Structure 1
Amino acid sequence: MTRIITLFCFLLTQLNFSQSAENYLEKIRNNEAALTAFFQQMPKGGDLHHHFSGSIYAEPLLERAITEDFYLNLETMQVAKAKSSKGNWETFSSLKNKGQLEFYQQKVMQTWSAKDYNGVSVPSDDLFFDSFDKFFPVIDGHFAEGLLELKKRALSENVSYIETQLSIIPCDMKVDDLSDFNSKLRRAAIQKDEKAVLKLLDDLFKSIQQKDAKKYAENFNINFITKLHKDLKIDDKRFTMRYQNFVLRFMEPVDLFKNLVIAFISANDSKLVAGVNIVSPEHGENSMKDYWLHMVMFKYCHSKFPDVEYTLHAGELTLGLVQPEDLTWHINSAIYTAGANRIGHGVDIAYEANSYDLLRYMSKNKIPIEINLASNEFILKVKEGRHPFTLYKEFNVPIVISTDDAGILRTNMTEQYVLLAKRYSDVSYAKIKKYVYNSINYSFIQDASIKKQLLKDLDSRFKTFENQFSKN
């Protein structure tokens, strides 16, 4: 009986501490500086929607490009190790000798990221999506430095887990002999003939297997992911990281499916590879044309590798970016056709056909939405009341808060929670805390004991955090 009373008193005390934190949050709700201090210290669990290359800040990338004396395209601000025959290229050392380095440093920063963006010079979505190719040559071969930078930043703002999309899986498999499948798959997709598509994918899958697809997955898992992760000692008592494989929407169907099969094999065979995703602008030509086909491809791969989880960028669209009818079915297809375990962005949910039924389905089946507030504001110009956050909340869809591409967007996890609390005053501290726990509960971590430990660690971190407010 004494133990029960003691436990009750402990829980009551913690409830009081949590209420004190709630009261303090309401007190500072309209003070952005105070909110920043509050959320900087609050435990934030995991960042589940996270692109590695887009999360590295431009400063260290530019510093490396200057140190290694890359060539810079003076029109596009793209860098390269070797000079191209097209365009006006100069080395950074040459620019320094001419006294022009500082000028071009500023232009690079404004092209590789949202720094100083004026909303006029170039469409925000173009600036965002075009930036990756401009700075990627500086990232290539320097994944270790980037991972350590991300870990250090995560620790500084009380983030204990990142599930990052690190790299495509290198693959030089020759598939020219399979090119006929491109037109066959697209013809079947136009007719929405799922049975025909699945039959074609079955034939294609067998051919890809015969070309030793497993070899590419094994090499990636052993010689890249596992080696990098262990050499850097990424996981420790304070921090854990896992990786998502991804494929590129703009590729031709055969190439994309080849990469998708290898991505699933890799995720199936490694506990460090948490799942699979699909990226690139959703409004791109091939992305729109082949969207349904891509969803059937995920469905097919799931039938072959049922233990592999996947989250899909879906509904990262808004009125004006595409035709109205193109806003009505992408999330539906990602969930009902592909069977996605999580949805990334989901911004066009209000336009989706039978959106209330879709929201109820997501709620009932515990399919989380990855909310990326700063990203959606910059790329799509969607924020506050136009953002569907409230819709997801009202229908009890599990919500996780993520950064997307913090480096390009010049943001961090703390700012996502500041925006959340500032813009949606009806979101209580208890709800926000729930979103934090969601980021671990709905992660794709395969080892149950690691997930359990991360949740236990969150309990401890929140206890420490909330105890501060008992003194106020």
Structure 2
Amino acid sequence: MSRIITLFCFFIAQIGFSQSAENYLEKIRNNEALLTAFFQQMPKGGDLHHHFSGSVYAEPLLERAIAEDFYLNTETMEVAKTKASKGNWETFSSLKNNGKLDFYKQQIMQTWSAKDYNGSVPSDDLFFDSFLKFETTIAGHFAEGLVELKKRALTENVSYIETQLSTIPCDMKVDDLSVFNVKLHEAAAVKDEKAVLQLLDELYQSIQKKEAKKYAEDFNTNFIAKLHNDLKIDDDRFTMRYQNFVLRFMNPVDLFKNLTIAFISANSSKLVAGVNIVSPEHGDTSMKDYWLHMMMFKYCHTKFPAVKYTLHAGELTLGLVQPEDLTWHINDAIYIAGANRIGHGVDIAYEANSYDLLRYMAKNTIPIEINLASNEFILKVKEGRHPFTLYKEFNVPIVISTDDAGILRTNMTEQYVLLAKRYPDVSYATIKQYVYNSINYSFIQDEAVKKQLLKNLDARFKTFENQFSKN
């Protein structure tokens, strides 16, 4: 990286700093090294679509597994603290003693991330399967990961991250509520909105009686606040907030229980910025229960109207699902769930009445979180096939994000390099607006914090742009 920055400074010296940042960007559009140096130093505001476990790079996770002598499944590259009954499991110490460690380290890196990806497995499978393979190395080590992410953000001039850190631990017993799984599926099958809302209300009351609030309070106090404050995450250069999330593949009762607790948590902590829903959108349960999930968000909004939420919606493409299944996910996320932001939104061109939907997003300032490297690797959607230009043409607010930088082997700088190189009609002024969007459309609850981030961004851009105006 230092060599690229040196090249950048040398080039600037040769042209005598006699131009604006806008003019300089136009001159270097087709040179990725110069673009990298330019965007590495440009202030980039916030990363709003960010998964904690997928953003930590594989190297420290692997080092931890080796140091703690985990077991490795030598067929799947999954690690565990204890040996499972099925599969071929060996400790890292035994692999080292047998001279096999270096071989398996290479296999692990290629399984836990996109490093040296060669197409031997579908890219979406590699991506989504990787989380389960390394998740044991995350538990109990959130602090190290947060420190890594903050250091990397500071290095590339990112001043804010809104990360999806962890699900909320909950051992609430809900076996007595299992009848709601059947009833909710029956009502959802005929899109009986009134019946679904009534069932959710009954379920909500039952969950409240099981002390849902205590799980939210414990998570906020003993996990989020403790980590955040002990590590002194916020300072004059960097700020972090957290999104709660639930998993799409769970049955309706368990998912709604977790969603209720997630909303309670977000409603009672300024560190918890909002709520999200994750897991492969094209999974069987995700597809079958998608409308029901949107109804759950709609219901929770009536109980906690101040809580913001962004939804993964439209992370689909032709071939991944049937054509007719590309027509309604973003529609439902916006019109039914009432999402405040949309993550990915790749299938927008296929959505029913997409022009009206785009106009609605623009009019109601519902931003789209654009993840260029992620969409290219997972969905094979890039350049002209990517709907970035469609959102831009309809003036939908745009924010640029990384998604899962660790698994994807990318960073925020690369997202802007891809943006500038692939879409030459996007001016420097427009890119700068996207940076400001990442703070303006963040879910930061404390307006004073948001104002300070914007003020700092003003100062950072002034310093950055002054390089191009000196004589």
TM-score by length of structure 2 reads 0.96
1:114 aligned onto 2:119: no
- Partner SS for 2:246: strand
Q: Residue 356 and residue 77 in structure 1: after superposition, are their counterparts in 2 closer, same or farther (change >3 A)? A: same
Q: What does 1:182-261 correspond to in 2, within 5 Å?
A: 182-261=181-260
Q: What does 1:249-398 correspond to in 2, within 5 Å?
A: 249-398=248-397
1:442 aligned onto 2:405: no
Q: Name 2:464's counterpart in structure 1.
A: 465
Superposed CA deviations along residues 332-381 of structure 1, whole A, max 9, x for unmatched, are: 00000000000000000000000000000000000000000000000000
Q: Name 1:409's counterpart in structure 2.
A: 408
- Partner SS for 2:72: strand
Q: Name 2:31's counterpart in structure 1.
A: 31
Q: Name 2:60's counterpart in structure 1.
A: 60
1:453 aligned onto 2:452: yes
Partner AA of 1:159 in structure 2? V
- Partner SS for 1:370: strand
Superposed CA deviations along residues 237-274 of structure 1, whole A, max 9, x for unmatched, are: 00000000000000000000000000000000000000
RMSD: 0.9
- Partner SS for 2:20: helix
Q: Give yes or no for contact 1:201–1:300 (8 Å, CA) kept in 2.
A: yes
* Number of equivalenced pairs: 455
- Structure 1 ranges of 4+ moved more than 3 A: none
Query: C-alpha separation between the residues in 2 aligned to 1:185 and 1:371?
Result: 33
Query: C-alpha separation between the residues in 2 aligned to 1:26 and 1:85?
Result: 59
Q: Give yes or no for contact 1:53–1:166 (8 Å, CA) kept in 2.
A: yes
Q: Give yes or no for contact 1:112–1:135 (8 Å, CA) kept in 2.
A: yes
Query: C-alpha separation between the residues in 1 aligned to 2:171 and 2:135?
Result: 20
Give structure 1 stretches of 5+ with no counterpart.
1-16
Query: C-alpha separation between the residues in 1 aligned to 2:437 and 2:191?
Result: 35
- Partner SS for 1:367: coil
1:179 aligned onto 2:178: yes
- Partner SS for 2:467: helix
- Partner SS for 2:291: helix
Deviation at 1:19, TM superposition (A): 7.0
Deviation at 1:183, TM superposition (A): 1.1
Deviation at 1:18, TM superposition (A): 12
Partner AA of 1:25 in structure 2? L
Q: Give yes or no for contact 1:276–1:311 (8 Å, CA) kept in 2.
A: yes
Query: C-alpha separation between the residues in 1 aligned to 2:18 and 2:121?
Result: 45
Superposed CA deviations along residues 370-428 of structure 1, whole A, max 9, x for unmatched, are: 00000000000000000000000000000000000000000000000000000000000
TM-score by length of structure 1 reads 0.96
Q: Give yes or no for contact 2:61–2:137 (8 Å, CA) kept in 1.
A: yes
Superposed CA deviations along residues 264-291 of structure 1, whole A, max 9, x for unmatched, are: 0000000000000000000000000000
Query: C-alpha separation between the residues in 2 aligned to 1:469 and 1:244?
Result: 38
- Partner SS for 1:263: helix
Query: C-alpha separation between the residues in 2 aligned to 1:311 and 1:408?
Result: 22
Query: C-alpha separation between the residues in 2 aligned to 1:178 and 1:155?
Result: 47
Superposed CA deviations along residues 278-311 of structure 1, whole A, max 9, x for unmatched, are: 0000000000000000000000000000000000
Query: C-alpha separation between the residues in 2 aligned to 1:97 and 1:447?
Result: 54
Q: Name 2:431's counterpart in structure 1.
A: 432
- Partner SS for 1:66: helix
Q: Give yes or no for contact 1:18–1:466 (8 Å, CA) kept in 2.
A: no
- Partner SS for 2:23: helix
Q: Name 1:86's counterpart in structure 2.
A: 86
Q: Give yes or no for contact 2:273–2:445 (8 Å, CA) kept in 1.
A: yes
Partner AA of 1:384 in structure 2? E
Query: C-alpha separation between the residues in 1 aligned to 2:185 and 2:152?
Result: 44
Query: C-alpha separation between the residues in 1 aligned to 2:469 and 2:132?
Result: 50
Query: C-alpha separation between the residues in 1 aligned to 2:337 and 2:137?
Result: 35
Q: Name 2:99's counterpart in structure 1.
A: 99
Deviation at 1:470, TM superposition (A): 1.2
Q: Give yes or no for contact 1:73–1:89 (8 Å, CA) kept in 2.
A: yes
Deviation at 1:179, TM superposition (A): 0.5
Q: Residue 284 and residue 18 in structure 1: after superposition, are their counterparts in 2 closer, same or farther (change >3 A)? A: farther
Query: C-alpha separation between the residues in 2 aligned to 1:211 and 1:139?
Result: 29
Q: Give yes or no for contact 1:282–1:314 (8 Å, CA) kept in 2.
A: yes
Partner AA of 1:115 in structure 2? K
Deviation at 1:471, TM superposition (A): 3.1
